[in-house]
Structures are given as structure tokens and as C-alpha cells.
Amino acid sequence: MTSDTQKLQQKRSGFYAWRVLALMLGPRAGGAGVVQFSSTNFVIPLETALGVSRGLISTIFALGMLVSSITSPVLGIVIDKFGARKILFATTLLVGGGFMLLSQEHSVLVVGIAYIGFVGLGFMTLAFQGTSVIVNNWFDKYKAMAMSILQVGASFGAFILVPLLAYIIDSVGWREAAFAAGVIIIVIGVPGVVFSRNTPEEVGLGPDGVPPDPSVASSSSVAPELTGLTAMQAARTTVFWTISFATVFSTAATFTLQIHFIPMLVWKGMGPVGAAGLLSILALVSIPVTIFTGALGDRFHRPKVAAVLSAVVGLGVLVLTLGTELWMFWIAIVLISGFQGLFPLVWAATGEAFGRRAFGTIRGSITAVQVLGTATMPVIAGTIFDRTGSYTIALWMVIGCTLLTSLFFLLTPRMTYRTTRIPSGTPESA
């Protein structure tokens, strides 16, 4: 291959990679912006409409995240076998349909079916797992930056959708807001799925402009054989487990804040619409923070950057816990906004350590471990509030989770699949 041809191919591959990344912002913005961030808008309206406790609503939402977590390994295997686009398309319709069903609610049972059976089943793959697999396939050298830009889609989605849905709830009703949320997820998610590609090899390219490996099979319907460790090989490494437990405590903290953020600020004396506006600003502030930490992640050891970031988030939660004035809440959201930068670093480190061969399955397995945090802390926070009328204890528990997150990230060694010796006694395929 001539030098000119190689340069042309590199430019073409680079163009396609960034285009695919841009397309993935749609599913990420819709899924994360609505489910991850805007679910907090529906806590108080559902509590009022159903006449039930906040602990019960928190339990339903937490069970939705539980379903997302425990089904992630299975969906990861399916993604690795058939490619992420087909699964992304199905989960986009599933989650969007779930919110439409939620809008027809007349009982706790319907809310449970809609949020646990539809939203919960598809959320993790729609917003995170499917999009991350595709971006991991297309990027290598700039993996952390690409993952961080992908996460910006979640922040931008939250910035737009949280106040929009809060306004619809306040001016029209929560049912109309739920239906609108479902429509938004489908409208902005489907185009990204339709016009993207699973891997650069499908169009004769390689990651980061590097010419494709001729030994890698190319197919538009089935994911090609890619390099890296299998899920079983990954599970025998220290990196897998330190990252897994770091994300357990990280998700315990972040999902508690996301589900209870508006109720927490209402408890602090703010109105629901004002609290939603502050959450929207948090999402906006997180955009430059996420990009900056992504750039740091491509220069330094990604788990160490994540450790520092988690400590900063903990400081923000401390300010929120002790704060009584609006200016203190502003400081808190600036510091807490750093949590949006955590997971791009986590998945970039995972891709660097284990490669592309079974990234979906490995990512899904790590997500399944997260259930220890997502299914417990949000419920505990809601139950504590029901019994005490205060979020103080729950917030101190969140601070503890951020410190444990930092500890496990600090314990994560540097590793890359290119130079890692496959653990002995592990089968070559899994």
C-alpha cells in the first residue's frame, strides 16, 4: 500500500469514526437524559398520584436499574455476537414504549411493569452499553476522549430534557410528560442507530485511521472477530474486579443522587421547577468537565484520574449536605458534575485493558456487579426519608461511597490487552 493511499485511508477512517461517535450521541442523550436524569422529575408526582410512600417509588425505580444490571451480561453476549446496532434499535423502542405505557398509569402495578419491565430492561443497553461498544470498536488511541464526548450526549440530553419535562409536568401534567419522554427517546435514538456501523472493519477501515487488519473478518450483519481477551480471561484479572467494585460504589452514589436530586433540593427548601433547573445547570457544567477529564485520561492512568474525580464529587456532596444557602448549592453542583466524567474513564480503561473481542460481555458483567449499589442505596435513601423526614443520613452514606470509589480506582493497576499475558488455566473462548 502506498504512503498516499495510507494517508487517504487514515483520513477516511478518522472521518467515519467521529461521524459514528456523533450518531451515538442521539441514543445516549435520549436514554440517559430521560431515564438517568429526568426520572427524578416523576418521583413526587407519582408519590402524590398513587398515594404511596417515596420509599415505594424509589424501590420501583431501583428495581428498574436492577433489571438493567442483571440483564447486561446476557445483552452483552448478544451484542458481541450480532453487533450493537440491532440491539440498540430494539431497546430504543422498548424504553420509549415504556414511558408511553407509564403515561397510561392507573396503579402501582402498571408503573412497575412500565418502568421495570420496559424501561429497566432496555435502559442500560440503550444509553450506555450499546453505544459504548460501538465507540470502543471505532477508537483506540483517543478512546477516553471519545468516551467522554459520548458522555457529553448524556449531559446535553439532561440539560435540555430535565427542565423541559419539569415544565410539562408543572404546566400540563406528568402523564403528558411521560408520553413526551417516550416519543423523544425514539425520535432522537433511531436515526443514530440506522446510520451508524458496528465496527470500522464493516466499511473496510480500522480504528483511529490505522489500516484494517486483513485477518479480521468483515461483515455487515455479524460482528467480526476482534482482538482482545475473552470475558472469562478478563474475570481472572485484578483490573476487572477493582473496576467492578469501584463502579458498585460509584453507581450507588450517582443513582441515589439522580433519583433523589429534585426531592433533596425540595427538602432543602427549593421548588420542584427550580430544583429541575439546577439539575439542568449541573448537566451543562458537566460537559466541559467531562471533556477535560477525558483529555487527562488519554495522557495519564485513567483509573487514577477517576479516583481524583470521585473525591471531588464527594466534596460536592459534602457541600450539598451542609449547605443552607443557594450559593452553596451552586458550588455543590459544580463539584458534583464531575460524576459525569467517571464512567467514560471507566469504559476507556476497560477497553484498553481487555480490547474489542468481548467488550460488550465484559462491560455487561461489570454492570451486573453494579447491582449491589444501584438496587440498594436509592431505596435506602427513600426509606430513610420516609422514616426521618430528612436526607442527611443518606447524603453522608453517599459521601462514603465516593471515598470507597476512589480507593478501588487507586488500587487498579495499569494494563493493556496487547501486552498482557493471558491468565493460565483460562479457555481461549468464552
Is there a domain that residue 405 lies in?
yes
Residue 248: CA count within 13 A, CB half-sphere: 15
**Residue 355 β-bridge partners:** 228
Q: Given this model, what pLDDT does residue 240 score? A: 92
Determine phi and psi for 48, rounding to 5 degrees: -70, -45
Give pTM, 2 decimals.
0.70
Is there a domain that residue 217 lies in?
no
**The one-letter amino acid at 163:** P
Contact 37, 258 (CB under 8 A): yes
Q: Which residues contact 330 (CB under 8 A, 6 or more apart)?
A: 278
Contact 202, 220 (CB under 8 A): yes
Residue 157: CA count within 13 A, CB half-sphere: 29
Is there a domain that residue 223 lies in?
no
State the DSSP H helix or E strand holding residue 420, giving kind and residue range, or none if neither: none
In tens digits, the chain (430 residues) has pLDDT values of 455 555 545 555 557 888 888 999 888 888 888 887 777 788 888 888 888 887 788 788 878 877 887 888 888 888 888 888 888 899 999 999 999 998 887 788 888 888 888 988 888 777 778 888 888 888 877 788 888 888 888 878 878 888 888 889 888 888 899 999 999 999 998 988 888 888 888 877 777 656 555 554 444 444 455 678 888 888 889 999 999 999 999 988 988 887 788 888 888 888 877 887 887 888 888 888 888 888 888 888 889 999 999 999 999 999 988 887 888 888 888 898 888 788 888 888 888 888 888 888 888 888 888 777 777 888 888 888 888 988 899 999 999 999 999 999 999 998 877 665 655 544 444 4
Give SS3 for 228.
Answer: strand
Is there a domain that residue 206 lies in?
no
Q: Can you give the CATH number for the domain in which 166 is found?
A: 1.20.1250.20
Q: Given this model, what pLDDT does residue 3 score? A: 54
Determine phi and psi for 223, rounding to 5 degrees: -60, 135
Q: Rounded to whole angstroms, how far apart are CA atoms 125 and 127? A: 6
Is there a domain that residue 429 lies in?
no
Going from the C-alpha of 304 to that of each of 246, 295, 310, 312, 365, the distances in angstroms are 12, 13, 10, 13, 22
Q: Given this model, what pLDDT does residue 137 score? A: 84
Contact 270, 278 (CB under 8 A): yes
Contact 403, 311 (CB under 8 A): yes
Looking at the structure of the chain, the number of domains it has is: 1
Q: Given this model, what pLDDT does residue 1 score? A: 47
Q: Rounded to whole angstroms, how far apart are CA atoms 76 and 83? A: 10
Q: Given this model, what pLDDT does residue 214 score? A: 55
Q: Is 389 exposed, middle or buried (0-12, 13-18, 19+ CB in 10 A)?
A: exposed
Q: Given this model, what pLDDT does residue 418 score? A: 67
Instruction: Give the closest residue to 122 by CA, choosing from 209, 182, 170.
Output: 182
Is there a domain that residue 215 lies in?
no
Our measurement of the distance from residue 89's CA atom to the centroid of its chain's CA atoms, rounded to an integer in Å, reads: 17
Is there a domain that residue 94 lies in?
yes
**Look-up of cell digits 446496532:** 85
Range of the domain at 23: 17-201+228-410
**The one-letter amino acid at 264:** M
Contact 27, 88 (CB under 8 A): yes
Is there a domain that residue 362 lies in?
yes
